[in-house]
Every structure is written in structure tokens, then in C-alpha cells.
Amino acid sequence: MSKQIEQFQELLGKDVKLDEPLAKYTTFKIGGQAKYFFIAQSNEDLVRVITFAKKLKIPFYILGNGSNVLVSDQGFNGLMILNKASDIIFGKDNKVVADAGVMLVDLINKIIDQGLTGLEWGIGIPGTIGGCVRGNAGAYGGQISDNLIGVEIMKGGKQFVLKNEQCKFGYRESAFKHNNDLIISAEFQLQKGDKKQSLAKIKDILKTRNEKLPEFPSAGSVFKNVMINSENEDIVKKLINLPAEYQERKKIPAAWLIESLDLKGYKIGGAQISDKHANFIVNIGKATANDVLQLISYIKMKVRDKLGVQLLEEIEYVGF
């Protein structure tokens, strides 16, 4: 056993697993082994393990529900932390604080039980609060930053709170995608709601999602939708049969671009562009990360060469 492993297990006990397969922890069901693997059951666990990792100069990555990521076939040569910290605290004035490890769907259900409203749009998104804040997750006209007051983070060994405007939120973007700040929890401002109306709303959203989304393992939306701006409006004007509603909203769904090239169903190895939703790549059986990577490259090439549009990934690459 190496000195590093001995030190790590001395600091954290036998809870540190070695060479843990990661496929079972991702919604893609793809990924090699993590050199080290640790489940953080609380924020205290999370802060402690990261402090030790930094002390021993071990690279680390925090995994929530494993959606929105593609883990390399070679795995992750460092510490993979599965964040299970799951406290939800309701405060005054319709505010709530949720740990980064809380599943968004669990938070939504508890909010509705409290007679509050504001996050129903997120029902069905298979992510944790930490992941949703990091990627400013959104759907059906809402996004996580709309109701967010602030984010508790750890930076340089110290914990403090960033206000919404300090997080630099954008379309599927935040400052956390470009720094090493650790998201510990997030506080949201909600409104008084009607439980029956909220339940009816999430029922409708789930029905729509189930009709559109594939049944095979996937990471969620692969590409960001394309925002229409001054830099690409000339290219957009050349797109044939672009629905007027997309032009009005200044946003073109990546799925529409991919589907317009008749790419639904195209596959490489065990990875396939979903027949149900063109912005989903699904694992139809024994897909490798390399299969997915090749398919992503193929889609980007086709859309760029045929339509002149450069697609950008929404999913995150881990271990590449």
C-alpha cells in the first residue's frame, strides 16, 4: 500500500474505497474506476475530506446524482466524492436552505408540502442542488438562479456566502464552472402557493417530460440551446424552416438543429442519438465514454458543416 493511501485512510478511516467503479454512480451508466472514492453523508464530512485531499495534494471531483457528466473509460485518477449531505431547513419569510447533496425533486416535493411555490419547473430534473446551482439548471421557463438568494461556499479553507449576483449566472452557466469553490448549500426565496395547483403543475410537467424523454440511460441534455445574438444572427437567417417562435425567443433548441439533419437514431457503438429527443445521447447497451465522445464530435461536425452553427456541450467531462 502506498504512503498516500495509508495517510488518506489514517485521516478518513476505512470509508475510503479504492478503485471504485463509477458507472453505477452516473445516470449514463458509463465510467471507469476512481482511484479513491468517499461518500460524504454531511457537510462536515464534505469539508473534512476536501481539506485532507488538498493537504495531500490529491485531485478531487464532487459527484451529485451523476447526471450531466460523462466519466472517462479510464476513470478518475484522484478522489471522487459522492455528496449525500441532505439537510433542508425552512426559515422565515418563505425562505429555505438546502444542502448541495439534496436532490432537486426532493426539495420541490417538500416545498409543496409546506404550501410554498417557485421551483415546480424543476420537477423531473435528476440533479442535486449543488449540480443545479453549478450549471444554473432550468426548464419550462424557470432556472435555479431565479429564486436563489445566496450560496454557501468553501474557498481557501474558509466558508462564506456569495449573493446571487456574485455567482455570475448565465444560460447554463455560473462562476462555479470556472473556479474551485465548493458549494455547500443554497438559500432560496419562495412564495406562498396553493398545494393543489402546484401538484397539478408538476403532474403536467412530468407528463410532458415522460412523453419527450428517452427510457435508456443518459446524462440529460448534451448540448446547450443556441442563443441568437449579434454574432450569429446572419447565420441564423440562413436556417431553413426555423420556427418563428424560436426567433422571437432568441433561442434555438439544439434538438431542433440536430433533428433537422435527420440524425435521430444515429449510433456509434453502444451510444445513440435518442429517437425521442435529439439532444439526448442514450446508452443502448454497453456504451463506452469513447463511443459517446465520438458521437458528440460527429454531431458537432455535422451541425457546424451543414448549418454553420457551433454547438457547445452542456454535459461536463470528468477524467479526460
User: Which residues are catalytic, by number?
Assistant: 172, 221, 314
Distance, CA of 30 to CA of 237 (rounded, Å): 39
59 CB-side CA count, 13 A: 8
CB atoms within 10 A of CB 52: 19
Distance, CA of 303 to CA of 311 (rounded, Å): 7
Please answer whether residues 119 and 202 qualify as being in contact, where contact means their C-beta atoms are separated by less than 8 angstroms: no
Distance between the two ends of the chain, CA-based, in angstroms?
26
CA quadruple 118, 121, 126, 132: dihedral sign: negative
- Sort strands 33-40 and 76-83 into parallel, antiparallel or unpaired: parallel
